Each structure stands twice: as C-alpha cells, then as structure tokens.
Amino acid sequence: MPIVEEARAKVNLALHVTGRRPDGYHDLDMLVVFADIGDSLTLAASEEDRFLIDGPMAAGLSADSGNLVLRALNGFREMTGWMEPLSIRLTKRLPVASGIGGGSADAAATLRGLCRLHDVPADDPALATLALSLGADVPMCIVSGPARVSGVGERITPSTGQLSFGLLLVNPGVAVSTPQAFRGLERRDNPSLPPLPAFDALRPFTDFLRHQTRNDLEPPARAIAPVIGDVLTALADLPSIRFGRMSGSGATCFGLFDDKTSAERAALKLAREHPDWWIEPAAATF
Ligand code: C5P
C-alpha cells in the first residue's frame, strides 16, 4: 500500500537573526506556521528504486542525488540499515527556492513516510540529528505545526494552534539564494523576539507582529530581488488584508486574512492584476 505524506508550506511570520556561529550558520528566533497547501510525497514498495517528480512546479527541480528527497532516503538507510527498493513520487506544487521551505518540507515528509513504513518513532533522537543535517528547516517541517523556533532551527516550541486565519502566498517568480541573503545582512546581532503573550484574536496577534517583530532577511532579499517590494505593496493594497510580510529569505510574501474565504477573494483580485505571479490562498493556525 502506498503511503502519502503532505509537505506543507512553511511561512515565517517573523524571522530575527540574533547571532552568527563559528561554522557560519546564524542563530535565529522565528515564528512559523504551516499552510494547508504544499507538495505531496507518495512512497511505495517497488522492484527497484524510482524517483519521479510531477506537478505544476516539477520543471524547477531535478531528480538527481542532490535532491533533498533522495538525501533524506539515503540518510534514513544509513541510520537504519534498511535497503529495500522504494518508489517515491514527489508532486511539486510549491515554487522552488522561494522562502517557504518546499525542499525542507519534502525531505521531512519523506522521513515521516519512511518512519511510518518502518515503525521508527517520530521522536527518535537519531531522526532529529539526521533531519538537522539535511537542513536547518527540516526539523520544524517534521513537526509541521505552528511554533516558535530558535537556534539554527532545532529548538522548537509548539504553539497551541488555537488562532485560525487565512493566508495568501505570493511569489513573483524570482528565486532568491538563501546563503546570498544571509551574506547581505548588515547586522547579525539583532534583538530576539519578545516574550509571546497568549493571543485570543487575530487583531492583537497582527499588532504584535507589526510592532514587535521583523524579518531581518527582508532588506538583503529586496536588494537581490527588488520585485519583492512590488509584491509587498500589492499585498498592502488589498482591502481585507490584516498584515503582510516576506517569508524566509524570500521571494514569497504572505498576507494574513480573517479566514481562507477572504484570502481566496483577495487571490482572485491580485491574480487579475498580476497574472504571471504564483498566488495561492490557504489557511493556517498559530
Ligand atoms: O540549512 P539550509 O541548507 O536550509 O540552509 C541554507 C543556507 O542558509 C546555509 O548554507 C546557510 O548559508 C544559511 N543559513 C544560515 N543560518 C541558518 C540557516 C541557514 O546561515 N540558521
């Protein structure tokens, strides 16, 4: 029986760069949510190893050994000694190199699927080490739930998920290199997030995001891809938007809305004005 795992899009509502480590990685303090849209991974026993990529964003990706899905599979095999042939299908819907963790979510979904196939508990410490070795975002994508995340991405404090809202994800079709965005930072010792109050409504939450949080990667990402500024302006002009910002190292930006229906309406309006942008309404919780 094939196993299907969803690789949901990760959105950084806030991303503070608070330091730099001797190995060159950055200490971060982030608020992340996961949208109810993403890629899908289908795993099935097979006569030989197969890896197929389909879906609307398949063209942006090659199925070679550098692909995070195959690196996850190889890492899992090294960890467990398990060598049975496997067929993996990745249905790619999220834009590549776009700040919403697509590749990390694909690797995490592959690991979740392999754990289900082989009865490895999801909290196995060896799995956490493997996940982090594949990428700083992979551990949080294994959890795939709203959280405050710090360290380079390994310290995950889940939030309750009681606050629901609509999300609009907008990508102008420009890939931003994450290392290049980090290299463009003017300061690396910025303040961390303040303590998080409990939020019982969207308004205090968006006030908190607007006044007390940042995405420190936004200025260097905008220098690399100035079109990010156009996306943020177009989002801010939408009548029912409550808050807008860039996610990760860009170029995807997001808007928060009261609910998914409002995000869907906004998506239709924005798509008329920018038919060449990738525009996806979604729902999320924090
Ligand atoms: O871990 P991942 O491969 O997703 O990171 C991509 C790049 O982003 C790293 O090579 C590094 O340049 C940068 N990065 C960083 N600090 C982090 C996460 C990523 O400097 N916490």
Q: Do 135 and 175 fall within a single domain?
A: no
Beta bridge partners of 281: 168
Ligand 1 atom with least separation from CA of 136? 1
Q: Whose CA is nearest to atom 13 of ligand 1?
A: 179
pTM score: 0.96
Q: How many whole angstroms from 25 Cα to the centroid of ligand 1?
A: 6
- Ligand 1 centroid to residue 220 C-alpha, Å: 15
Q: Is 231 exposed, middle or buried (0-12, 13-18, 19+ CB in 10 A)?
A: buried
Interval between CA 183 and ligand 1 midpoint (Å): 10
Any idea how long the chain is?
286
Of the candidates 29, 137, 216, 260, the residue annotated as catalytic is 137
At 275-286, the pLDDT tens digits run: 999 999 999 999
Confidence of residue 64 (pLDDT cuts 50, 70, 90): confident
Domain final residue, candidates 128, 158, 188: 158
Supply the DSSP string of 179-196, one letter for each residue: HHHHHT-S-S----PPPP
Domain boundary among 127, 158, 189: 158
- Are both 74 and 175 inside the same structural domain? no
Distance 97 CA to ligand 1 centre (A): 12
Q: Same structural domain for residues 115 and 26?
A: yes
Boundaries of domain holding 184: 164-285
Say yes or no: 107 and 192 in one domain.
Answer: no
Does any ligand 1 atom lie closer than 6 A to the CB of residue 137?
yes
| CATH number (domain holding residue 140) | 3.30.230.10
Same domain, 172 and 127: no
Task: Please spell the DSSP secondary structure of 101-140, one letter per residue.
Answer: -HHHHHHHHHHHHHHHHHT--TT-HHHHHHHHHH-TTHHH
In the prediction, which pLDDT does 239 show? 94
- Asked if 212 and 255 sit in the same domain, the reply is yes
**Residue written as token pair 């009865």:** 119
Whether residue 267 is preceded by a cis peptide bond, meaning omega within 30 degrees of 0, is no
Q: 137 catalytic, yes or no? A: yes
Residues 137 and 8 in one domain: yes
The four Cα atoms 101, 114, 52, 280 give a dihedral, to 10 degrees, of -30
Among 170, 161, 176, 171, smallest CA distance to 256 is for 170
Ligand 1, atom 2: nearest CA belongs to which residue?
135
Residue-level pLDDT at 226: 98
Residue 122 has pLDDT above 90, yes or no: no
Cα 180 to ligand 1 centre (Å): 10
The answer to whether residues 13 and 142 belong to one domain is yes
Which amino acid, 102?
Answer: G
Identify which of 178, 188, 217, 247 to mutate to test ligand 1's pocket (most ligand atoms within 8 A of the CB): 178
Q: pLDDT by residue (tens digit) across 14-53? A: 999 999 999 999 999 999 999 999 999 999 999 999 999 9
Query: For the chain, how many structural domains are there in total?
Result: 2
Residue ending a domain, choose from 158, 183, 209:
158
Q: Which atom of ligand 1 is found nearest the CA of 27?
A: 21
Q: How far apart are CA 47 and CA 85, in angstroms?
A: 6
**pLDDT, tens only, 128-171:** 999 999 999 999 999 999 999 999 999 999 999 999 999 999 99
Are residues 96 and 228 both part of a single domain? Answer: no
Q: Is the CB of 179 under 6 A from ligand 1?
A: yes
| 10 & 146 share domain | yes
> Given this model, what pLDDT does residue 91 score?
98
CATH number for the domain including 173? Answer: 3.30.70.890
Q: Are residues 151 and 181 in the same domain?
A: no
From the CA of 155, how far away is ligand 1's center (Å)? Answer: 15
User: Same domain for 147 and 175?
Assistant: no
Helix axes 102-118, 68-80, angle to 10 degrees: 30
**Ligand 1 atom with minimal separation from the 151 CA:** 21
Q: Which of 10, 92, 106, 260 is catalytic?
A: 10
Residue written as token pair 């496997």: 86
Residue nearest ligand 1's atom 21 by CA: 152
**Would you say residue 66 has pLDDT above 90?**
no
